[in-house]
Amino acid sequence: MTKPLILVSNDDGITSRGIRVLVNVMKNLGEVVVVAPDSPQSGMGHAITIGNTLRLDEEEIFDDVEAYKSSGTPADCVKLAKHYVFHDRKPDLIVSGINHGSNTSISVLYSGTMSAAIEGAIEGYPSIGFSLCDYSAKADFSHVEEYVYKIAKQVLEHGMPKGVALNVNFPPKRNEPLKGIKLCRQARAKWQEEFDERFDPNGRKYFWMAGNFVNFDKGEDNDEWAIANNYASVVPCQFDMTAYHAITQMNEEWDLDVE
């Protein structure tokens, strides 16, 4: 029986601890191929490389796993995997992560981790982005491995709706085990940025972005609530950003005839 073909990527770079954990879990589910950035790409969103060279080099970094590092973004990595690495083969699953840090709520738009998963969904492949809400380089992933396995296995067995990728976030490791998995919606929250004006040693002005994440959502069915209450959150995401309700409202209220 042929093993499922699983593409692993991320945005923290091919040498991150999170991707090593993800590769080791996926090896229990199928044949793993890694295509990941050669350096951190956090916050890149769905950027792609245009007008610059893209490099792709084979890397012997994982035991018994074909792996490549790319100079491109996470979305570039998925494109390169499809068109160059796999040739005529098609992955059964694309997974991205495990990210060092949260990708809940509005962060899904900025996330390089999720851009790899969304790119997979655009290409028609079942795709998942995994994130741990712990930014530490020494973050403990041990409590999430069985959940990563379970979620990925469910997707392999049951598939995904067309054009949908899963955004999975895990709480940091606490004194108690995770309570379980919650299917959620995206919380209504946002970053309130502040820009600190500074000067470099040559006296040239630059800015450093800071700020706070503010949750306006009081519901108990969203990803922020799930993480705060020690659940893994699973949010189905789509790349079609059309506001269909706005089309109806605008057709009713706007005068679009040109005289």
pLDDT given at position 191: 84
Rounded to two decimals, the pTM is 0.93
pLDDT given at position 152: 98
Tens-digit pLDDT profile for residues 169-194: 999 999 999 999 999 999 998 888 88
Q: Bigger pLDDT: 214 or 157? A: 157
224: CB partners within 8 A, 6+ apart: 104, 105, 187, 189, 215, 217
The rounded mean pLDDT for the chain is: 94
- Quick check: 212 pLDDT over 90? no
Domain 5-187+218-253 class in CATH: alpha beta
Q: Radius of gyration (Cα) for the chain, nearest Å?
A: 20
Tens-digit pLDDT profile for residues 59-95: 999 999 999 999 999 999 999 999 999 988 999 999 9
* DSSP code for 185: B
- Quick check: 1 pLDDT over 80? no
pLDDT given at position 88: 87
CB 28 within 8 A of CB 149: yes
Name the binding residues. Answer: 11-12, 42, 99
Taking residues 252-256, report their average pLDDT.
Answer: 90
pLDDT given at position 210: 86
Name the binding residues for a divalent metal cation. Answer: 11-12, 42, 99
CA-closest candidate to residue 47, choices 72, 82, 14 = 72
Taking residues 19-48, report their average pLDDT.
Answer: 94
- In 32-111, where does DSSP find H-type helix? 74-80, 107-110
Percent of the chain with pLDDT over 90: 86
pLDDT given at position 52: 93
Mean pLDDT is lowest, of 17-31, 62-76, 208-222, 241-255, for 208-222
pLDDT given at position 42: 85
Tens-digit pLDDT profile for residues 98-108: 999 999 999 99
pLDDT given at position 214: 86
Tens-digit pLDDT profile for residues 126-179: 999 999 999 987 899 999 999 999 999 999 999 999 999 999 999 999 999 999
What size, in residues, is the chain? 259
- Quick check: 259 pLDDT over 80? no
Give CA torsion, residues 234, 238, 241, 243, to 10 deg: -70
CA-closest candidate to residue 14, choices 42, 35, 43 = 35
Mean pLDDT is lowest, of 10-19, 35-44, 161-170, for 35-44
Taking residues 236-251, report their average pLDDT.
Answer: 94
